[in-house]
Amino acid sequence: MQQVKRFRRKYCKFCADKVELIDYKDASILRGFITDKGKIMSRRMTGNCSKHQRMLTRAIKRARSIALLSPTER
């Protein structure tokens, strides 16, 4: 008999912590949502809600523009 895989539902970490605003100056948090090649991870991978994913995308792009985050992580 085959085993049934149970997937754990992903949740938005920002909603769980009741974060109202994602700060672009907090590079340590933003680095957790970027791949090795510097791309922003999708909602499907991170489990963020749409509101916080948009805020996260804006924050990462702002941090890149003022060089808090490098465009690629090598």
Q: Look at residue 1 and tell me whether its pLDDT is greater than 80.
A: no
User: Which pLDDT tens digit goes with each residue over 51-61?
Assistant: 999 999 999 99
Residue 74 has pLDDT above 70, yes or no: no
Q: What is the CA radius of gyration of the chain?
A: 15
pTM recorded for the entire structure: 0.83
Q: CA 2 to CA 53: how far, in whole Å?
A: 36
Residue ranges per structural domain of the chain? 13-65
What CATH fold (topology level) applies to the domain 13-65? 30s Ribosomal Protein S18 (4.10.640)
For residues 17 and 42, give the distance between their C-alpha atoms in angstroms, rounded to a whole number.
20
Residues belonging to the chain: 74
Q: Which residues lie closer than 8 Å to 49 by C-beta, 6 or more apart?
A: 12, 14, 15, 43
Tell me: pLDDT of 6 over 80: no
